Structure 1
Amino acid sequence: MKENSDVLDTEVFSELSISDGTVFQPKDFFPKFSWEVTPQYCMFGDGSRTLTTSEVEVVSGKSNFVCIEKNHAWTVLEYAEVGTKHEVEAFKKLQPEIKVLYYFNSAYAWPFTSYNENFTRSRIDNYPELKKFLIVNETTGELEHRNNIFFFDVLNPDFREWWVNTVVAGVNFSGADGVFIDQMHGFVWLRNSQKNEVEKAMGEMMLNLKKALGDDKILLGNNASDVVEVFPAIDAAMFEHYNTQKLSKENLLKEWGDMLNNAKAGKISIFRIGVEAEDDPSIDGLTGAAKENALEKLSKERLEYYQACYLIGAQPYSYFQYGWGWRLDTGPLVDYPELQKSLGIPKGAYKRVHENAWEFTREFEHAKVWVDTENKEAKITWL
């Protein structure tokens, strides 16, 4: 293998070559994948409105794989599934081959869809058939919640059936190409004595969802790569780096291995970085517009490092998502020119510069990547 050659041997390497020498086997309903530039996935929502025509153009110019977040257009179209339907139609009109996902949560009863609108303090007591789907605190007898968002009880078989039917209804109504399912945990920490039952129930629910969605829909599970019971059901998994531990050198190394395993299993990976997880001093004490401006500035300053972290472990059908939150105004519309530079096919797997050290390198057709995950430094040399 000509890993160090200046000329790529196209008989050895191709768009779908996995770094271990095997070949990725995509499903017919997956988005088209290319190494031409850094492959991006976009996920966002704005609860107050729909996208403008120019915003649809900006997002589709970056990616052919997007997801509409949980509360999109909720206040103007009444229900989030209507917001998703609106954007699916807008994106498909501009780019028919784009893949657009619907959002639903398996743990939190977010009240943004017509299916969930009665899971609120003011309404839930009027719907005992829905209330039984929620976790109750064993000591107080009150519904468990976080900021008045109730918790689904995955151990309830009636809930699991309702949930699968509800997710499928949202996907079908919106015309989406699949669904992003958030939260794989089933609130296991609230009932550790039933850990095995919770994990088994979550796996069963996801397998039933995949079956009910049909053979032409993408099922993307958040942080699902190492959830043993769930992994067989999913077509794709996100790596959500939501705190500093997730950004640690040890975890990044583990995730590069997980991305390899996902690729070998024919599954998509999403490497999602939000720089808000860094807890950088530059944003200390800031609120509102000042904080948003500081986070955008930080995202531009830190892009080379996080892009390098993604590129070191990326496989065919590995996508990079970048920004500083989940709203439309937290990254998807920002211009990051480096993400549009010519990249090209990887020339092989990453190399560890010194055994047990934290410097890594990797070569692509049009880029050489170096990263030090201990000191959080990187250099991408564009060729």
Structure 2
Amino acid sequence: MRRSQFIVPAMVFVFTCWLIGCCAANADGTLAAPGEGSETVHDSTASPRPPFSWDRVPLYMHIRKATDFTPEELDYLGGFPLITLEKTTGSRTHGSTEAGSLAAAKAIKSVNEDACVLYYRNVMCNYSGYKTNDGLRDIPGAFLQGKDGNRKLHRGVREIYDLSNPDVRRWWVDHCVEMANHDEIDGIFLDGNIKAFEPAFLRAEIGAERKQEVADGYFLMMQDLKDRIPANKMLLANVIRARLTDSGLDTMRYFDGSYLEGIESQANGLTRVEYLAKGVDAVQKAARQGKIIAMSIGLGDAALTGLKIDDSRKKVVRGANIQPRLEYCLALFLICAEKYSYFLPHDGYSVNNKDSAVWLTKFPEYDKPLGPPKGPAVKDGTTYTREFESASVFLDIETQTAKITWKETR
């Protein structure tokens, strides 16, 4: 047998094994990423990063407003090193989310040229207000369809992309790359990731086989985006979730960091405390690898229903005492934080018509000297402690209590 006759069948066998691995499911039924379980760690030091300092609590902002931001709002936004402009930003003023986001990013950078501004894209849900949506008219089968013919599969009001369709994936990545090439945009924020590979999402509507095809398409799309995004632009994804076998850490290889949503949720048979402890561990691991962490955490009472994929919370009443909750949230962040970790306590992302009770608020904790951590957090049962140069942190996730002792500075 010639050497080439042996090599070709061997290559086919190897590729077949890889392909089977791509379609595998985790032990808990979660749809697996190609190569899941790999020990390879992305070299985050080679990727761009937002400004960072331990001098004060490092902050994140995630916001949407359908009209232009006022001078007062821009001055406020200029104080955040990392900002995501949500869907619909500026769309009422400028005619589309694309144009509105570019205008908002440019305005923010006129106040703080070092601010890192991300453009929002959902990997699954077809939100209106985007000019690029016009291109979907030329893509047959762009949306998933239920067994009953229903195409409004997201809460009964909007379509969901069929990521098994290569034309849809190409259209989606093309737009992200186009927007990332603007000087005003420092990267892409990717939302809805968990919907792509959580097997329970849409399983009843489209069946397990079609859902697996969507998951496979998602991972192909993320690899394509990673390959094509400009080297000086960031990818931040809503992807770390304790409900996943490895909490989503393997999927982080596609991204420069993770936004955190629902770290206090409860799913897959875990108790509230077990779920949170697993989430804390995952965030700590990702942060120590140099990944960007944007911890978004609601100040209102939880109002989760269904699969608990999205972090739903009640609105904060103006004048309510939110200090205990704020201190708990901040302590949770500080237990996890490493360089390039950022904190956002909020009561919703919309600031249209004074939707938020804490918008434009600068909590006193933001002005307190923090200093770098003296080491990692120490875990003892359900409690965590950690020392910073100018603060001592105590957190108990069982009793949901915390204490931050700020040290006096001269």
TM > 0.5 fold call: yes
Alignment of 1:212-361 (within 5 A): 212-224=228-240, 226-227=247-248, 230-241=251-262, 244-245=265-266, 248-279=272-303, 292=315, 294=317, 297=320, 299-328=322-351, 329-330=355-356, 331-353=358-380, 357-361=381-385
Q: Please state how far the C-alpha of 1:116 moved relative to its aligned partner.
A: 2.0
Contact 2:181 2:230 survives alignment (8 Å): no
Pick aligned residue for 2:402 from 365, 372, 378: 378
Q: Please state how far the C-alpha of 1:64 moved relative to its aligned partner.
A: 0.9
Contact 1:181 1:220 survives alignment (8 Å): yes
Contact 2:98 2:130 survives alignment (8 Å): yes
| TM-aligned CA distance change 1:256 to 1:292, over 3 Å | closer
Pick aligned residue for 1:54 from 63, 72, 76: 72
Contact 1:134 1:143 survives alignment (8 Å): no
- Is it true that 1:168 corresponds to 2:177 in the alignment? yes
Query: For residues 205 and 73 of structure 1, what CA distance do their matches in structure 2 show?
Result: 28
Contact 2:300 2:316 survives alignment (8 Å): no
Amino acid across the alignment from 2:284: L
Q: Please state how far the C-alpha of 1:132 moved relative to its aligned partner.
A: 1.6
Amino acid across the alignment from 2:227: K
Contact 1:220 1:238 survives alignment (8 Å): yes
Contact 2:81 2:114 survives alignment (8 Å): yes
Query: For residues 309 and 229 of structure 1, what CA distance do their matches in structure 2 show?
Result: 23
Provide structure 1 residue ranges, at least 5 long, that are not aligned to the other structure: 1-23, 120-126, 281-290
Q: Please state how far the C-alpha of 1:297 moved relative to its aligned partner.
A: 2.7
Amino acid across the alignment from 1:186: A
CA displacement, residues 125-159 of structure 1 (integer Å, 9 cap, x when unaligned): xx3x3452100112336453424211111111111
Query: Which residue of 2 is the match for residue 82 of structure 1?
Result: 99
Aligned residue for 2:133, secondary structure, equals coil
Identity level (%): 30
Amino acid across the alignment from 2:386: R
Q: Please state how far the C-alpha of 1:340 moved relative to its aligned partner.
A: 2.4
Amino acid across the alignment from 2:78: S
CA RMSD of aligned residues (A): 2.6
Structure with more contact order per residue of length (Cα contacts < 8 Å, sep ≥ 6): 1
Amino acid across the alignment from 2:345: Y
Provide structure 2 residue ranges, at least 5 long, that are not aligned to the other structure: 1-42, 242-246, 305-313
Query: Which residue of 1 is the match for residue 26 of structure 2?
Result: none
* Count of aligned pairs between the two proteins: 337
Q: Please state how far the C-alpha of 1:34 moved relative to its aligned partner.
A: 1.1
